[in-house]
Amino acid sequence: MTKFKLFLDVEKEEAWLDAMAEEGWRLDKVIPSIGKYTFTKVSEGEFCPKTRIDFRMVPKNERAEYIELFRESGWENICASNINAHYYFHQMSEESDDDIFSDKSSALQRDKRIGNICAIASTALFVVCILNIINIIDAVRNGDSFSIPMSAVCSSVLFAVGVVLFLIGARYFERYQKRVDADIVVIEKDGAIARDRTTGIFTRRLIVLMAIGFASGVAIGALMFLIER
């Protein structure tokens, strides 16, 4: 059975996959970028594995080691998407661990990693957007009307994607921060027990910086529009 479903929240995705597994649907294949899930029904009484999703940028030369570590501890990799840093694992047998994280802090860190990747990606998109806008200004100056519509469309699409990624990242950061604040969760930072204060300030500052960046992008766009008039 094939299902299409898009998730913005990795925890909801895991919960949905758990519910599917509960009904006896084993996830065999997934293409995260288009949200395509392929399931097979296991026969009555047969073990139906849970799926867990890790999210991290694993350097190419460490990928084999990373996947091997999971395999040895009972988690089979069923999808490694290098583009968006998703790694799907499902349990190899009933003896496999129940989860891929064994303490609260490492489970929380996943939210932070997703937030960081979203922040980097949206900032990169934003930079490309600005360059494109400069390009448009140039084209307007030179009276090169041919490339204007093309660049304008590109810019707005990139901008829209950037905003969406930014909002997703901000939500993850917010959840991470909220859980850290609420629980006085012990965060394993640099291997020691400490409350993670610096990250909160850092991520908040990053969000403000990016908001200013986006705002100035819009301002430049508007200015350009006025110049054109």
Q: Which is nearer to other proteins, 64 or 218 (CB)?
A: 64
Q: Which residues bind other proteins (CB under 8 A)?
A: 52, 54, 56, 61, 64-66, 68-70, 72-73, 75, 89, 97, 99-103, 105-106, 109-110, 186, 188, 190-193
Q: Which is nearer to other proteins, 9 or 140 (CB)?
A: 9
Q: Which is nearer to other proteins, 55 or 126 (CB)?
A: 55
Q: Which is nearer to other proteins, 113 or 175 (CB)?
A: 113
Least distance in angstroms from the C-beta of 112 to other proteins: 11
Asked if residue 196 lies in contact with residue 180, where contact means CB atoms within 8 angstroms, the answer is yes
Residue with tokens 């090169």: 144
The pair of three-digit structure tokens given for residue 62, joined into one six-digit string: 């460490």
Least distance in angstroms from the C-beta of 215 to other proteins: 35
Q: Which is nearer to other proteins, 24 or 74 (CB)?
A: 74
Least distance in angstroms from the C-beta of 189 to other proteins: 9
Q: How far apart are CA 81 and CA 35, in angstroms?
A: 12
Residue with tokens 């003896």: 95
The pair of three-digit structure tokens given for residue 179, joined into one six-digit string: 């859980």
3-state secondary structure of 56: coil
Q: How far apart are CA 78 and CA 147, in angstroms?
A: 43
Least distance in angstroms from the C-beta of 164 to other proteins: 27
Least distance in angstroms from the C-beta of 89 to other proteins: 8
Work out the angle at residue 173's Cα, subtended by the Cα atoms of residues 170 and 179, and round it to the nearest 5 degrees: 140
Half-sphere exposure of 204 (CA within 13 A, CB side): 7
Least distance in angstroms from the C-beta of 60 to other proteins: 11
Work out the angle at residue 113's Cα, subtended by the Cα atoms of residues 109 and 118, and round it to the nearest 5 degrees: 150
The residue type of 3 is K
3-state secondary structure of 6: coil
Q: Which is nearer to other proteins, 192 or 201 (CB)?
A: 192
